[in-house]
């Protein structure tokens, strides 16, 4: 299938939001000085947490894998600088739950020394795609747009299905976030090189880079980088600035007019979408051997003195990042990870930057309107009009509020991308997304509990079956033993013959013992001779009797 991008399409709903990207786009990407301490959570991605490979006290190099991926959907974690592991402990992480999670803590040594064995791959585009997928997995690359889905797992869908179109997502539609914009302006060549690698891995027929039309410098830089290489038909397409155009499904719909099916994946349409930052990380990993140890973070909002984009080692304390940007302004009220629409509130800045952290927003009342008291739903349907996923947010809210988890699923809760458009337009100030997140978490918890109960039931059934089998086997062994003992010894059974002979010997010893008088030490020689004579006569009589018996039997 071939796509024509000369005519674009629209997704339903969405909002036109005031842009605040210029707050952080006036300066080039800055580099944070090396922090003294790095805290690396084992779970910075969708999927199972990584498993530590190091212990406290161990020295590590920058780029060394310190925790391995566990299971298929997971990603390893690498040291973002050289130093010493000082702890592996439960520490607070930036997560909507606000809970702590296992982290590896490294005290840096200031040398920032790369692992000497790290090396890139020659002739990347001639390599086997399976080998490249494996290298991408080992580099710990996850979707850098904010979702954190392991990049190699997404690439594996190309194994099962034919991919006609690879979309690189440079839309970046949240009002304050500009890290992708700056990346495209300054490192367009890395992005294009990464795109070529991804295309080779997927064997994708067509490639397109979708960029919101409020980023003309970025588009110009990408087109210039493309012009440096051969004409491969890769297009940079300007998509209208309308929130949430950066949503994977929405961008695909704008570019192709195709709607990803409910609960389906873009791969169902033969399309795969990666973020521009992910493409640049793939290039770094395969050509230099550098795993994902840093990322660009937008620090913005009226609550920070000098908003800008900063390249930060993963694990850096957010407080150091804010300090690097001149510190807080006096009227700062809230701290968010992500943008004002989809970001999560942070309880403090004593948390580490993780792989999915694209923005730290220090908000004042001017940045984010203060939360207003919630009023009852008036059934105005404004939320449904604004929903880009064609959902009925008021129905979802109604059932989530009533904790009717079956009903929310019937209303396609899991198609909700948590974009926040519905909550933004709701005249009753209902925090709709919070209800939807809550319902999703409840369903996942229930699912986990059900899986646990199923596992426990299976274990119990296996145990009962094992006990029953052991009982049967024991009974069978007893039966065999008894049968062996009850059967008379035959000439052809040496074991039984040996038992019979042993019994005969015992019997013979017993009869002799009965006949020999005890306490004969004090007898006179004459008395002893008489006893021996009597024994000899008895033995002769027994022998004669045995011969007579045998003759009778014959
Ligand atoms: S916008 Fe708010 S008040 Fe209106 S129907 Fe939706 S939830 Fe109810
Ligand atoms: S948060 Fe969910 S329900 Fe609300 S507008 Fe976005 S996709 Fe629709």
- What's the gap in Å between 422 CA and the centre of ligand 1? 8
Residue 375 makes CB contacts below 8 A (sequence gap 6+) with 427, 428, 429, 430
Q: Is the CB of 436 under 6 A from ligand 1?
A: no
Residue nearest to atom 4 of ligand 1 (CA): 380
Q: Is the CB of 376 under 6 A from ligand 1?
A: no
554: confidence class by pLDDT, cuts 50, 70, 90: very low
Residue nearest to atom 1 of ligand 2 (CA): 418
d(CA 284, CA 333): 38
Sheet strands side by side (includes 100-108): 37-41, 100-108, 83-92, 59-60
Q: Which ligand is nearest to the CA of 408?
A: 2
Residue nearest to atom 7 of ligand 2 (CA): 416
- What's the gap in Å between 407 CA and the centre of ligand 1? 18
Question: Strand, coil or helix: what is 107?
Answer: strand
pLDDT tens-digit profile of 253-307? 999 999 999 889 999 999 999 999 999 999 999 999 999 999 999 999 999 999 9
Residue nearest to atom 5 of ligand 2 (CA): 387
pLDDT at 479 over 60: yes
Mean pLDDT of 459-479: 90
Q: What pLDDT is attached to residue 368? A: 80
Q: What is the 3-state secondary structure (H, E, C) of 1-18?
A: CCCCCCCCCCCCCCECCC
d(CA 267, CA 289): 28
Mean pLDDT of 198-221: 96
Pseudo-torsion of CA 92, 97, 101, 104, nearest 10°?
A: -60
DSSP state of 396: H
552: confidence class by pLDDT, cuts 50, 70, 90: very low
Q: What pLDDT is attached to residue 548? A: 54
CA 352 to chain centre: 19
- What's the gap in Å between 424 CA and the centre of ligand 2? 10
Residue nearest to atom 4 of ligand 2 (CA): 422
Pocket test for ligand 2, best of 253, 381, 422, 434 (most atoms within 8 A of CB): 422
- What's the gap in Å between 439 CA and the centre of ligand 1? 18
d(CA 305, CA 329): 6
Q: Which ligand is nearest to the CA of 395?
A: 1
User: Is residue 38 within a helix (H) or strand (E), and if so which, with residue range?
Assistant: strand 37-41
Question: Strand, coil or helix: what is 235?
Answer: strand
Residues in the ligand 2 pocket, defined by CB under 6 Å: 386-389, 391, 393, 416-422, 432-433, 436
pLDDT at 553 over 70: no
Mean pLDDT of 229-250: 94
Residue nearest to atom 8 of ligand 1 (CA): 377
Do the Cβ atoms of 129 and 203 come closer than 8 Å?
Answer: yes
Mean pLDDT of 135-149: 92
Q: What pLDDT is attached to residue 234? A: 94
Between these two residues, 87 and 454, which has the higher pLDDT value?
87
Q: Mean pLDDT: which of 144-148, 235-239, 465-469, 531-535 is highest?
A: 235-239
- What's the gap in Å between 391 CA and the centre of ligand 2? 7
């Amino acid at each position: 299938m071939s796509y024509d991008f000369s005519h674009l399409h629209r997704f339903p709903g969405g909002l036109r939001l005031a842009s605040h990207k210029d707050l952080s786009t006036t300066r080039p990407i800055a580099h944070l000085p090396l922090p003294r301490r790095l805290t690396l959570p084992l779970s910075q991605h969708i999927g199972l947490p990584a498993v530590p490979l190091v212990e406290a006290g161990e020295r590590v190099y920058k780029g060394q894998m310190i925790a391995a991926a566990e299971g298929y959907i997971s990603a390893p974690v690498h040291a973002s600088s050289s130093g010493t592991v000082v702890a592996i402990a439960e520490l607070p992480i930036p997560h909507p739950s606000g809970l702590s999670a296992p982290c590896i803590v490294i005290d840096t040594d200031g040398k920032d020394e790369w692992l000497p064995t790290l090396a890139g791959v020659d002739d990347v585009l001639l390599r086997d795609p399976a080998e490249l997928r494996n290298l991408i997995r080992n580099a710990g690359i996850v979707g850098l747009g904010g979702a954190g889905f392991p990049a190699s797992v997404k690439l594996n869908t190309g194994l099962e299905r034919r991919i006609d179109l690879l979309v690189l997502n440079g839309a970046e539609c949240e009002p304050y976030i500009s890290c992708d914009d700056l990346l495209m302006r300054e490192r367009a060549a890395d992005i294009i090189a990464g795109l070529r690698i991804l295309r080779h891995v997927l064997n994708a027929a067509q490639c397109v880079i979708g960029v919101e039309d409020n980023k003309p410098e970025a588009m110009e830089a990408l087109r210039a980088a493309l012009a440096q290489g051969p004409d491969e038909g890769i297009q940079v397409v300007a998509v209208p600035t309308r929130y949430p155009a950066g949503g994977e499904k929405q961008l695909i719909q704008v570019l192709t007019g195709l709607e990803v099916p409910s609960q389906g994946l873009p791969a169902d349409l033969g399309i795969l979408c990666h973020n521009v930052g992910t493409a640049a990380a793939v290039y770094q990993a395969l050509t230099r051997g550098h795993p994902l140890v840093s990322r660009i973070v937008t620090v913005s909002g009226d609550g920070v003195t000098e908003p800008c984009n900063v390249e930060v080692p993963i694990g850096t304390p957010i407080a150091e990042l804010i300090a690097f940007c001149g510190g807080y302004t006096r009227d700062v009220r809230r701290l968010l990870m992500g943008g004002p629409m989809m970001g999560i509130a942070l309880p403090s800045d004593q948390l580490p930057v993780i792989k999915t952290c694209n923005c730290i927003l220090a908000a004042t009342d001017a940045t984010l309107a203060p939360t207003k008291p919630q009023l009852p739903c008036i059934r105005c349907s404004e939320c449904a009009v604004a929903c880009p996923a064609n959902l009925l947010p008021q129905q979802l809210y109604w059932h989530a509020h009533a904790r009717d988890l079956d009903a929310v699923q019937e209303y396609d809760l899991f198609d909700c991308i948590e974009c926040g458009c519905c909550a933004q337009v709701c005249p009753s100030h209902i925090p709709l997304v919070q209800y939807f997140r809550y319902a999703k978490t409840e369903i996942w918890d229930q699912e986990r509990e059900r899986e646990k109960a199923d596992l426990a039931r299976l274990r119990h059934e296996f145990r009962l079956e094992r006990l029953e089998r052991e009982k049967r086997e024991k009974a069978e062994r007893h039966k065999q033993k008894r049968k062996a003992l009850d059967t008379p010894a035959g000439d052809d059974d040496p074991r039984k013959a040996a038992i019979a002979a042993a019994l005969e010997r015992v019997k013979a010893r017993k009869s002799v013992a009965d006949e020999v008088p005890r306490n004969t030490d004090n007898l006179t020689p004459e008395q002893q001779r008489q006893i021996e004579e009597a024994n000899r006569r008895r033995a002769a009589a027994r022998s004669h009797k045995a011969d007579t018996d045998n003759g009778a039997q014959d």
